[in-house]
Amino acid sequence: RKEVEQDPGPFNVPEGATVAFNCTYSNSASQSFFWYRQDCRKEPKLLMSVYSSGNEDGRFTAQLNRASQYISLLIRDSKLSDSATYLCVVNELRGYNKLIFGAGTRLAVHP
């Protein structure tokens, strides 16, 4: 079983759509959670941290359920510029700072 699992997609949605990405992780001791965004042939960039209370940044909402080891990302009112791969990331912080990435979910927003 992979440490972080995501739906590979691709998700093809029209502009203005709402899209949800799901992710599960296997290590219950994981302590920090993130969504990174990666454009084609570029480096991953932090989109947002994910907290148990849920958090929102504009059109983006992230949720964490520690009991079920599940992380989600909701994008409302999709823009063409949201087209990218979204990486679910877990940090176990086991004395050192190691990020464990899912394989990513590709999103394509079309006019």
- Residue of 12, 20, 26, 42 interacting with another protein (CB under 8 A): 42
Smaller CB separation from another protein, 31 or 65? 31
| Residue span 81-100 as binding mask against another protein, x where in contact by CB under 8 A, dash where not | ------x---x-xxxxxxxx
Residue 27 engages another protein in binding (rule: CB under 8 A): no
Pair 108, 13: CB distance under 8 Å: yes
Cα 8–Cα 42–Cα 15 angle in degrees, nearest 5: 60
- Residue of 21, 37, 104, 107 interacting with another protein (CB under 8 A): 104
